[in-house]
Amino acid sequence: MSESPRQKPVILVVATATSRDGLEDEFRSRYARDYDVRTLQGTEGAVADARALVAAGRRIALAAADHTLDGIGALGLLDQLRVLTPSSRRIALVPSGTFRGALEELRPALAVGRVDTYLLIPQGPRDEEFHTAITEYLSEWASTTSTPEVVGVRIVDDGTQSEVAGIRDFLDRMALPWTRYRPDSPEAQELFADVGQEAPLPLVSSYGRPTIARATERLVASSFYGSPADLGDDYVADLVVVGAGPAGLAAAVYGASEGLRTVVLDPEAVGGQAGTSSMIRNYLGFPRGVSGMRLAFRARLQATRFGARIFTGRAVDGLRLDGLHEVSYGDGVLRARSVLIACGVRYRRLAVPSLEALVGTGVYYGAATSVAREMEGRDVFIVGGGNSAGQAAVHLSRLARTVTIVVRRASLAETMSSYLIEEISTHVDVSVRTGSRVIDGGGEGHLEWICLEGPDGRTERVPADGLFLLLGAEPGCDWLPDEVRRDARGFVLTGRDVPKELWPGGRPPAPLETSVPGIFAAGDIRSGSMKRVASASGEGAGAVAQVHSHLAPAPD
């Protein structure tokens, strides 16, 4: 049955008399099947029409406005729509003849997020660059504001299982569609028939695999992509990469593409902490920004295309240094000629017992897209002052009623990039509480309130529907043997930072090599790293060249 226009998300196009016919044809010809395309002429009445749509419960996926509009102009119109329907993507459409002047006006608006991007109005048929941008924004809108509308992984829970948050996060980050069902639904009864009516929740079933009872993120992750044991008892990898964040994925791409037998292990989904970022705006080659999930998804496809083997749900718990290095991961061992430690960092724990008890039911480490969707119209708090916290605040402001950043420092300037601070300052629904910390919280089965302590020591109890904790970095490499030296904070030493008494033959290790020959480190886990996606990717790629040098036969 075809979908009626009232059920479809709306694409709102506001044009001039000159551009209306062309833009209407451009959008309708491509998107009318799946979207209700509304083309309006002039700014007068456009906001009222948009308000009427929102009042009727319609979702506006994308708003595009001709930059040459009279009256309040395209920017004024998009500013009003930003308040009225914050989750909509906003695009300024620029006639080719006005590009130079338009760019001067749009540049500061782009810098602070008043508009998502600008596009030249197509001048002829098949302007695929234009439509690539449109479809990317529609895809981003759909992935961050609604659950998939296709049948995929089935989850059965009654709303009280905290494990579901992690399961949904994994599935979202792996681009796997999912649907939740109540235990009394027909779909749930079908799964109970497989595992028994008394099977503990949550249940997870997918793509012909056996139904998992009392499912966890780790169990679901390990069920999707096989086991390293499938490689065989006699398998020896040229390179085992521990961690599938930006550094690990870059190493997988370059290692596999250059002929190394490359295996990647990660306890969760690919992407690491970067995979939970709603939008990375300063990564080279993505002028419109890219979500951490999409960046990781593309990198995973790229790596597997070259032959890398990536296993999720496999937590490395040991490394034995005996000829061939042996990497243990719970119930198995992988042998490798070289190892790259790229396991990244983990968020520090808040250490407030009442809130730790609510992790997964209103309290979250990171800012998973699947959870953010549930914050529409709610009051949320973000604890942390780094770029991840800033990106989470901007993303959640599209959905939540209010967003409050809680930071212990006197300002965000010490830890957050200036472009994010400027963008946050333009959001009237985002506030910053400096010199403050969260000391308590609670609720009946779900977070309902938190207690804040201000710089003067006074406490305040405030309603809260969501608490997102992005508290900085701790190294996640306790499993490393003592031979792999670390700094006082636990980060891995490489190159000239390795103590001189451990330099083989009096020469320093390679820049990304650790105190043990053949063991390398890249990304956030490495002592002295920049803690940025781009630098981690560069280190992961650079490590492969050093692996090649290590594996090369010694000269005669």
Label the pairing between strands 36-41 and 309-312: unpaired
Average pLDDT over residues 272-296: 80
Residue 415's identity, in one-letter code, is T
CATH topology of domain 5-145: Rossmann fold (3.40.50)
Question: CATH number of the domain at 153-217, please?
Answer: 3.40.30
Task: Report whether pLDDT(442) > 50.
Answer: yes
- At residue 247, the pLDDT reads 96
pLDDT band at 148 (very low <50, low <70, confident <90, very high): low
Contacts 24+ apart (CB under 8 A), 44-50: 44/71, 46/12, 46/14, 46/77, 47/77, 47/80, 47/81, 47/84, 49/12, 50/12, 50/81, 50/84, 50/85
Separation of alpha carbons 223 and 219, rounded Å: 6
Residue 2 has pLDDT above 70, yes or no: no
For the ranges 42-46, 231-235, 276-280, the one whose mean pLDDT is highest: 231-235
Q: Which of 90, 164, 101 is nearest to 133 (CA)?
A: 90
User: Could you say which of 3.50.50.60, 3.40.50.10330, 3.30.70.120, 3.30.420.40 is the CATH number of the domain covering 353-471?
Assistant: 3.50.50.60
Query: What is the C-alpha separation between 285 and 443, in angstroms, rounded?
Result: 44
Q: What letter does residue 470 receive in the DSSP assignment?
A: -
Mean pLDDT of 334-351: 93
Ranges 172-186, 275-289, 381-395, 468-482: which has the least confidence: 275-289
Check: CB of residue 280 under 8 Å from CB of residue 286. yes
**Is pLDDT of 268 > 50?**
yes
Q: Average of pLDDT values for 374-403? A: 91
Name residue 463's beta-bridge partners.
Answer: 449
Check whether 6 has a pLDDT greater than 70.
no
Q: Is 267 within 8 Å of 242 (Cβ atoms)?
A: no
Residue 54, both tokens: 């929102």
Confidence of residue 147 (pLDDT cuts 50, 70, 90): low
Q: pLDDT tens digits for 48-98? A: 999 999 999 999 999 999 999 988 889 999 999 998 999 999 999 999 888
Give the mean pLDDT of the chain: 90
Topology classification of domain 228-346+474-551: FAD/NAD(P)-binding domain (3.50.50)
228-346+474-551 and 353-471, same CATH topology:
yes
Percent of the chain with pLDDT over 90: 63
Where in the chain are the domains? 5-145, 153-217, 228-346+474-551, 353-471
